[in-house]
Structures are given as C-alpha cells and as structure tokens.
Chain A
Amino acid sequence: MKSKIKVWTRRRVLRGMLAGSAITVGLPILDCVLNDNGTAFADTGALIPTRFVSWFWGLGIGEQEWWPKTAGADYELPWELGAIKPFKKRLNLFSGSQVFLDGNTNRTHFTGIQGHMTGKVTSSDDYFNSMDAIIADTISARTRFRSLVATCDGDSKSTWTAFASGKVPAEVSPAALYARIFGPGFTDPNAATFVPDPAVMVKRSVLSTINEDRADLLKNLPAGDRARLDYYFTALRSLEQRLDIELQKPPPLPACSKPEQPKDDGHSIFLATDAMVRHDLFCALMTHALACDQTRVANLNVSQSQSALRQAGDPTTHHSYTHEEPIDAKLGYQVQCSWFQQRYFQGLYNYAAMLDAVKEGDRSLLDRSILYAYTDHGAPRLHSVRNYPFITIGDGNGRIRTGMHFPTPGDTAIRVPFTIMQAMGVPISSWGTNSNHVTSPVSGVLA
C-alpha cells in the first residue's frame, strides 16, 4: 500500500489515547455484575444495550477499481481501506449499489446522501428522518440524549442527522460536547451514593407550566403552526426526560468513566490534519458517552460533503482536488485525494479501536455496536451516485455477520441502511420510495 501512515496497533491506540488524555478506558464490567452468559446485567436483567455509531466522510474513494473482485468472506480488502485492515474480520464492505434519481436533479454532494440516509430522493432540500434518527428513536429514546452528532471541520451545518423536525446541527467543539455530556447534568453510575439534585427537581416541576399551557396555545393556530408546536412539545418531552433521568440513580456501569475535559473549543479548522486531531477527541467523547449509556446513537462527520479541508501549505481543498486532480496515469488514482482519504480512514480505525478498548463483559463496546461509515458520492470527481462504498464495523451484539464483502451492483443503495435499521431492531418492513423502495435486507448480512 502507498500510505506512509503508520499502522496503529490496538496497543498503540490505547497508549496514544491514554497518553494524550483523549480517552480514559473504563474497567471491564465485572463478571459478578453480569449474568452467566455475559449478555445482561445480573441485578436488573437488562440486556447490555446495542449501539449505533455513524461516521461520515466526504468524497468517497475514487474512480479507480477499489472494490474487491470476490464476494463473501474470502476477499481482499482494497488498499484504500488498509488503515482498517486490523478489523477485517469484524467489518463488512458493501460495494456496487447506487441511488436511483427517478428523474430528480442530482444535487451534487447532497442527493445521494438524501437518498440513502432518508430513503427519499427529491429535487429539493428536504431532509427528514435520517436512518440514524430512526434508529435513535428505537434504541435510544430512554437515554439522556436521543443521539449525539458532531463534526470535525468547525461547521455546525456539517450534519446528516435529521429527525422529523429537521436537521440536527452538529456540535463543533469537543469542549462543548464534553460539557454537555459530562457537565453538571452527568451522574456517575458507579458512584457509591446518589442524591437527587433539588434544583433539577424544581426545574422539572416548573416545565410542567408549559405543558399546561399547551391547549391554550393550540386553540387558534393554523394547522401548520400546530404541527410545529408538536415538534416543540416533542423536544420539551425530551428535555423533561433528560431531567427525569438525572433524578434517578443510574444502574452501575463499570465500563463507564468520565473522560478528561478537552480544550478544543471548536474554532474554525481548515487543515485535514487538525481536523483529524479533533476527530479523535470527538471519538473519545462519543466512546465514553456510549459506555456511560448517555446515548446509544453517536454520529460523527469528518467534514461537510464538499470537504474544504486542505493540506498544510497547499491552497487547494480536498473537494477541489477531486475535480481538478488528474488520475495518475501510472498509479490509476488521484494521488492528492488519496492523501485525504488515508487520513480519514485512519480516523475510522482509531474510532473502532477506541470502541474496542472498552470492555463490557466478554465483548467490547465495538462488538455491541454497528459502526456505519458512509459517504456522499461513489465517484466524487464525476458526482456519481453509483457504486457507493459502505462499511460496517462491529456486529451489533451479534445481530449481523461480519468479515464479508457484499457486492450489490445495480441494486439501490437504500438497501444497506435498511438492513442496518432492521439489525438495530427498527420495526420496519419496507423503506424508500420509487426505484429506491426496498422490502428485504442485503442478503446474508443479518445474523
């Protein structure tokens, strides 16, 4: 492989993260806390939760023939994905699928994501109910945060998470995300004592005044305003629930520990190397948040889809390079673009390694999760919505098989997120519209 990046072993990741204070790895869950099978907590019988982790990188892989030539387990991971090779047996690679436009305009760097994340392709900016949000509503509704979303490029609009109310802006600052998760509202589940905060009790009580005003508010509003009020009250319920959770003693979670507070305030970033440093800070925070059951859905974006990240000393952005850089005649790919991709995939490896470093019984947090990596274009130079690369790492508490390449040439890309949603327990039997409508998962994925 051409990358000059050092391969990070798991040992190196742990050492590096710890030395850099990016992550504090919790203790393994003690056997006595778990049932005999290691699948549930002994005291409550509650199953160890399954988590969903999404990871977006912009601008795909390239036009070169990156996809493996064989399907199934006996395949060779493309060199472009060399950084995640240590996880080959625990990941799946999907190739060949496409988003069908059905006559809609291909709004570059948007429509493809709109299609496979929401199941609907339109010629507008419509973007609601992304697959991660649907999963969050299914598996994370009773945690402090339905989901978390962050981006490494300093632009809060770099997000692909959307509930019915619309897109959720991404957190840009690791320091702010830390404060949000592990600030005053955080209760250490492993603390010996628990005393509900009377101030929180009062805040919770006072919020009921708004609910009591609801009927009065709704009386004279047009339907459109009433619908927006419904979204408001959904958000209010989430806020109330968060306070309710803070007032309850959480069950012990030995894998949970509070990370050190990062200093990065989310200032604007333009170098890919700086973005990936921030990336690892976010990964650490997300990992801790998942281990502490503050949420069960974590979404991280390396950048916006038209990545404006650059290399030091070079004024050209990654996005510009995808269009302006010729495919190297000898190597057969865009060399500069590959530089960026290698950094991104190194970040993906780091994230998986961090999740894997947290032990919950005999399995790791990565094993309890599906880490889902997706991008905006199959071949970004051409704004192609064909031949999308998708990657999953982890088996989601044994819900999917791993170690496989699933080529689905000509099939709709919507089938991949549909499969993931089914794996995560979303009660869904079909998804997508028109040519992107699916009723069955990618064959052989679900365990």
Chain B
Amino acid sequence: MRAECRRGLATVIAGILPILAAAASPSALAAPAGAAPAGAAAASARGTANSEEMSTALLMSPSQYRLTIADVFGDSIKVNGRFEPDQREQGLLAIGARTDNISDNSLESYADLASDIAAQVVDARHREELIGCQPRSENGRDDDCARVFFARVGPLLYRQPLTVDQVQAQVTAAGIAADKLHDFYGGISDTLAEMLISPRFLFRYKIMEPDPQHPGRERMNAYAKATELSYFLWNTTPDEKLLQAAASGEIQTRAGLERQVDRLISSERIQDGIRAFFADMLGFADFAAVSKDPSFFPLFVPSIKDEAQEQTLRTIVDHIVNRHGDYRDLFTTPHTFLTDDLATLYDVPLVDMSDNGQPQPWLAYTYPPGDSHAGILSEASFTTLWSPSGRTSPTVRGKALRENILCEKVPPPPGNVSFKFVEDTGNPQYRTTRARLMAHRTEPLCAGCHKLTDPIGLALEDFDAAGEYRTTENGVPIDASGELNGKQFVGAIGLGEAVHDDPAATNCVAQKAFAFETGYIPPRDDPRWREIQQRFAGSHYQVLELLRAIALSDLSYAAPAEGGALAAANH
C-alpha cells in the first residue's frame, strides 16, 4: 500500500476548479449538441447510444469505492459498512460489474455507507477543510456556500463537469434540507449522501460520441475515457491532471493519451491498479467465506486470511513494479514477504528486528534453494482459498488454477455418477486423497474432467488445507507428483515451472487484464488484440507493458458493438 496519506482531491484541486465548476454546460451524460465543455468535449455532439441491447456501464467495485472516497475526501474519511457481494462472470468480478444490478438490498447498503461518509465530511473535524467555506449561519441554508461545495465536489464524484442546473439542484436540495433541519451541515450531508447513491456515482458509463477524426465512426467521450483509464490503472477516480486532459481534449490525441498513460504507470499509484486486478483474477473476494477448523489447523489464526492475500499482492507488486519481472516468473520466484504468523505457518525462519509491541511488520524473504515454497501457487492465498475447511481438495485447487490462471473452462460434474471408489474410505488401499481420486477417475463419466484438475491439485497435496507444509496424510507419505498439459512434475516447485512454461498463462493474464478494464473478453481475431499480445510478448511479459499496451489501444475504448460481441465469442 502506498505510504502517504490522501488529502483528498476535494481539498487540493483548486487548479482545475475554474474548468470544472465554470463548465456551465450539460454533463456528458446528457449533453446537447454544442454544449459540452471546452476542448475535445466541446467538439463533440451529443453522446449517442452505442448498443441497443448490451449494458456497458460498470458498477463500482468495493475497492474502487473505497479508493474513490479516499481520493475525493481524504483517507481520514472512513468507509464504514459493508458492500453486497459482486457477481463473478467469466472469472472476473470486473466482468460481472457490467451486468450487476442494484437491488433493494444493495441500494440500502449504499445508502448506509453514503450517510455515514457524508456525516463524516461535515463533522466538526472535517467541515472546515472539506466544505471550503463558512456558512453565514449554521442554523439554516446558505446557498452560496453550498454552491461552492457542490461545484467542487460534484465533478469529482461524477467524474465529469456538472451543469449549472445540476449544481443548482444539489444546492436547492441542501437548502431545503437545511431549513427543515435548522442545520446547514445537515443539509449538505443529506444531499451529499444522495449524490453518493446516484447512478452517476455508482456506475461508470461508456458514453460514445461521433469521432471528428473519422466521420461515421464513434469514439469514447473524453471524460469516460479518462475514467476508464483511471480505474484501470489506479483503481480510482481520475485525478486533477487526467480531468484536465479530458477537458482540454488532450486525452483524445495519441500523444496526449501516451503522456497520461505513462504518467499513471510511472506513479506509485499503479500499485493500486495492479493489486485490484490480481485480487480479482485470483478470486480473493472469496476469502470472505473462508474458515479453517482450529482443531485441525491451529496455526491458521484469523489474521492469516488477510495476511495470505497481502503476501501474494506484495509479491506481485514487488515483482512487477520493482523488479520489472517476467509475469511467468511469478510462479517460480523465491522472493516474497512474510509476517511472523506466515513464517510460522510455512515453518521458515524470519528474523524480526522490530520492537515488541509494534504492529507485525512485513519482511522481505527469499526461500532458499530446495525449499518447498516458491511462486504464488505455493502461498497460502492459493492453497487455503481453494480448500474446504477441514481437508484439501485437489479437484478444487486444480479447477481454480485452470480457470483463474490459465483461462480454461472446466465442465461441471455430471449427474448420476457412481462414487463407489471415493466412498470406500475404509479400504486401506484408499487412505489418501490421491488414492481415492485416482480410483474415482476410473469412472468414465468422471475421468474426462478430473484428469484436467486432479493432476494439478495433487501436486499441491503437500500443503494442507491451511497452507501448512506436510509430508504425510493419515500416516501415508504424500506423493506430490502431478501433470499439466502433458508435462510431468513434482510438488509446488514443479507445478510453478509447468505453469511458467505454459503459453496459456501469459495469454490468460493478458485477456483478463483487458477484461478488467473494459468488462469484456477481447476478440481473438481483432488485429488490435493481437498487437497487444505482441507488445506483451515483446517486453518479455512485463505486466506494466501489458497494461500500457491495453491502455493505449483503440480496442479498449471501442464501441461495445465492436468489442461487445467479444465476450461470449471466446467462451
């Protein structure tokens, strides 16, 4: 995580206020022709519908919501409460965000979050800094002061300029509320809470407009493009410079887009985007329901769930950002970070030089040659997430690797299956999971799918359901031999090398990174997609170069009619 505190754009964006607050024009979502702000947007006509059937809007994820609030108001404003779980589609929550709807329950949750956030913004601790003016009286309306606040905050929340009418609507609502409550700040709070549950805040709309450079074609509106770019690379709302680039039209030029993309990628905030992407790709949201029985796994203390995810995300960020490593090496790297709890779980020595009573620090650690751990597949974030609470499941682990890391679909199990071998737990021949699964695979109906999953998962059998290394199961030595797409190996080290060498791994991460930005699986046959893949391969599979290629590609900002058919076509 980045070390510095966020002050909040609401307190530091004085430089762009003249552009945004003075944009006395309808917003891009409803902009009549010729009424858009200066720059590229001014050159556009009204936005046009880009598809007759498919939704393209993306619902903000919980992590995006948190970062956005922190960026707009500063990280002393806490997001207290819960989010309704998102739906994973085709392996990514980011794709599900394109179809997730807001239900009674989720709007209720958003309303609770919004009320709490808004109350913090106007509390005595924050109001002076975040409201930006002193009301003439705290006991009633002050439209001028309210206008200052909403003219500044509105564009940050809606990620585009607000029209005069839109600002006035908020000022009016706040004034009425303030008069009823006899409380200026109460009026601001209730109206801000309303903005925080508006579809304009919760959804990111892909608004298209006629492309003046290519008559007859469409391009993404500048603010929508800035928004997509920002959430892709930083997982948060556009910053001042990005909004300026949208307002001036810079972002619609190749050179201008390159400047912004390079700026975003070279910032340390790229870590937020990388963490969000890999947390989604690796399915970390499912950790919410993970539990392990302490009577079997006493080392799996409650904090391990968070630490396991953090270990992997730190390892990934370090590898990609600091080491500029090859993506494939993530599956074999000996470099990682550990806490005391994780070191105990992994049974590795970790020298902690910090004072007693200090928060448990993260220490860099390199597994020595010959260690059973290396690469992210050997970490608890994988071995525990994809295990039931009481014992391992090679099938589940193998399925997770196939689907999340290699983008391969594993068919669901059939009905009317004989489990006569799996059932025979009393047979001394089947004392290990391997023995029972191997017997089960002799059942023709099951063999087809289990041969896709089990040989992968069985190679991780020397990590129990809590991620602790073991050598026996029920007194029988564990055989951790495995196989992936014809390659034989032993243990997590061998599995990591096999994944490293499998071309599906790099194709998968590229495909998922594209989908993370757009909500779509890319079209395999589109030359723009092939160019992204080539750039990735040409960089020796550096993820930052992959992100750059995606962020610069026209395909990422194409009308969904072009890219929209993409999703289903590949699955």
Give CA–CA (A225, B295) in the complex, Å. Answer: 49
Task: Check if B103 sits within 8 Å of A166, measured CB to CB.
Answer: yes
* Chain A to chain B contacts (Cβ below 8 Å), 17 pairs: A153-B289, A166-B87, A169-B85, A202-B186, A216-B27, A217-B200, A222-B53, A228-B203, A232-B107, A238-B107, A242-B108, A270-B389, A323-B422, A323-B423, A325-B425, A326-B424, A383-B413
Q: A229 — which chain B residues lie within 8 A by C-beta? A: 199
Per-residue contact bits, chain A 288-329, to B (CB 8 Å; 1 contact, 0 not): 000000000000000000001010111111001001111000
Task: Check if A222 sits within 8 Å of B423, measured CB to CB.
Answer: no
Task: Check if B52 sits within 8 Å of A220, measured CB to CB.
Answer: no
**10 more A-B residue pairs beyond the given contacts A106-B414, A268-B290, A382-B417, with a C-beta to C-beta distance below 8 A:** A106-B412, A108-B415, A206-B193, A209-B173, A222-B53, A223-B49, A232-B101, A270-B390, A314-B390, A325-B425
Task: Check if A202 sits within 8 Å of B200, measured CB to CB.
Answer: no
Which of B53, B56, B198, B423 has most chain A Cβ within 10 Å?
A: B423
A205 at the interface (CB under 8 A from B): yes
Per-residue contact bits, chain A 141-156, to B (CB 8 Å; 1 contact, 0 not): 0000110000001111
In residues 188-238 of chain A, which contact B (Cβ within 8 Å)? Answer: 198-199, 201-203, 205-210, 212-213, 216-217, 219-225, 227-229, 231-232, 234-236, 238
Give CA–CA (A229, B173) in the complex, Å. Answer: 22
Give CA–CA (A228, B51) in the complex, Å. Answer: 14
B169 at the interface (CB under 8 A from A): yes
Task: Check if A227 sits within 8 Å of B55, measured CB to CB.
Answer: yes
In residues 87-106 of chain B, which contact A (Cβ within 8 Å)? Answer: 87, 100-106
A220-B290 contact, Cβ under 8 Å, with A202-B177, A231-B101: no
Give CA–CA (A136, B567) in the complex, Å. Answer: 34
Task: Check if B48 sits within 8 Å of A382, measured CB to CB.
Answer: no
A397 at the interface (CB under 8 A from B): no
Give CA–CA (A361, B507) in the complex, Å. Answer: 67
How far is the CB of A227 from the nearest CB of chain B, in Å? 7
Task: Check if A206 sits within 8 Å of B291, measured CB to CB.
Answer: no
A325-B390 contact, Cβ under 8 Å, with A169-B84, A206-B194, A217-B29: no
How far is the CB of B256 from the nearest CB of chain A, in Å? 24
Per-residue contact bits, chain B 318-340, to A (CB 8 Å; 1 contact, 0 not): 00000000000000000000000
**Least CB separation from B109: chain A residue:** A169
A131 at the interface (CB under 8 A from B): no
Q: How many A-B contacts if CB must be within 8 Å? A: 213
B50 at the interface (CB under 8 A from A): yes
A209-B194 contact, Cβ under 8 Å, with A315-B391, A384-B416: yes
How far is the CB of A376 from the nearest CB of chain B, in Å? 12
A22 at the interface (CB under 8 A from B): no
In which size bucket is the chain A interface? 35 or more
The 5 lowest CB-CB distance pairs between A and B, nearest first, are A315-B390, A268-B291, A224-B55, A165-B101, A155-B289
B180 at the interface (CB under 8 A from A): yes
**Least CB separation from B289: chain A residue:** A155
How far is the CB of A234 from the nearest CB of chain B, in Å? 8
In residues 238-267 of chain A, which contact B (Cβ within 8 Å)? Answer: 238-239, 242, 267
A220-B49 contact, Cβ under 8 Å, with A201-B180, A316-B391: yes
Partner of B388, one of A180, A317, A383: A317
Which of A107, A202, A234 has most chain B Cβ within 10 Å?
A: A202
Which of A106, A206, A234, A267 has most chain B Cβ within 10 Å?
A: A206
Task: Check if A209 sits within 8 Å of B191, measured CB to CB.
Answer: yes
Q: A271 — which chain B residues lie within 8 A by C-beta? A: 293
Task: Check if A216 sits within 8 Å of B101, measured CB to CB.
Answer: no
Q: B106 — which chain A residues lie within 8 A by C-beta? A: 169, 235
Task: Check if A216 sits within 8 Å of B29, measured CB to CB.
Answer: yes
Give CA–CA (A145, B104) in the complex, Å. Answer: 9
**Least CB separation from B287: chain A residue:** A268
Which of A222, A268, A314 has most chain B Cβ within 10 Å?
A: A222
